């Protein structure tokens, strides 16, 4: 079993805590060639060059390959059975030894409210939120286990999967996107969410994405 970090925005952390988010989609950093053959997800051994300059199969990793073996990419989120610890926007009490029980106890998270700059705080939190990029393992409060990984075009998302992405439901037939628009189709609400994270026009590019399915297992 491998443990790896993964970043989530505050709204997505809230969906994780509420149990409404069980999937995440992340664009492949390297897209397969346009004329690629069928994509296959699973363990594979990428080719490496040994000290004699010869090609050899490397250590087995989990990722996606073309079935003809001409292209492959390691999944940065591991494979089924691996664990991901969540990085989110955070702040901790100043003067605490990093990783100590006191530092863990006096850590606040943007997704759960509070304000590190609030003068009414009993303790000094440094006056500002810290980027999730710099969250250490000890400060993470959420761990998820990967139960499935596949690769597909982002626009191929189903209604069921859009709901599993944690989009906000406001009544039995309406979903709200991050732009404040209301939709009868959760896939359109997910489109708003995807573009809010990846930038305007990212949905229209229709990239291949990692579809990571997971379950929350606690801290």
- DSSP conformation letters of 84-128: EEEE--EEE-TTPPTTSHHHHHTEEEGGG---TT-TT-SS--TTS
Per-residue pLDDT of the chain (219 residues; tens, 9 = 90+): 799 999 999 999 999 999 999 999 999 999 999 999 999 999 998 877 767 777 777 788 999 999 988 899 999 999 999 999 999 999 999 988 888 988 899 999 999 999 999 988 888 999 999 999 999 999 999 999 999 999 999 999 999 999 999 999 888 889 898 888 899 999 999 999 999 999 999 999 999 999 999 999 976
**φ, ψ for residue 64 (rounded to 5)?**
-125, 140
> Are the beta carbons of 175 and 189 closer than 8 angstroms?
yes
Q: What is the pTM of this model?
A: 0.90
Q: Is 125 exposed, middle or buried (0-12, 13-18, 19+ CB in 10 A)?
A: buried
């Amino acid at each position: 079993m491998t443990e790896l970090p993964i970043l989530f925005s505050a709204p997505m952390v809230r969906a994780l805590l509420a149990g409404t988010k069980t999937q995440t989609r992340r664009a492949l950093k390297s897209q397969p060639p346009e004329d690629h053959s069928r994509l296959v997800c699973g363990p594979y051994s990428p080719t490496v060059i040994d000290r004699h300059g010869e090609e050899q199969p490397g250590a087995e990793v989990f990722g996606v390959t073309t079935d003809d073996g001409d292209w492959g990419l390691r999944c940065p989120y591991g494979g089924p059975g691996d664990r991901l610890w969540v990085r989110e926007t955070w702040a901790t009490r100043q003067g605490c030894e990093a990783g100590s029980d006191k530092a863990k106890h006096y850590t606040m998270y943007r997704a759960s409210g509070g304000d590190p700059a609030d003068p009414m705080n009993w303790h000094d939190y440094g006056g500002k939120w810290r980027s999730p990029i710099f969250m250490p393992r000890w400060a993470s409060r959420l761990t998820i286990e990967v139960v499935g990984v596949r690769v597909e075009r982002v626009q191929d998302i189903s209604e069921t999967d859009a709901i599993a992405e944690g989009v906000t439901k406001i009544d039995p037939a309406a979903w709200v996107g991050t732009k404040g628009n209301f939709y009868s189709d959760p896939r359109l609400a997910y489109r708003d969410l995807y573009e809010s994270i990846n930038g305007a026009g990212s949905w229209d590019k229709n990239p291949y994405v990692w579809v990571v399915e997971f379950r929350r297992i606690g801290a």
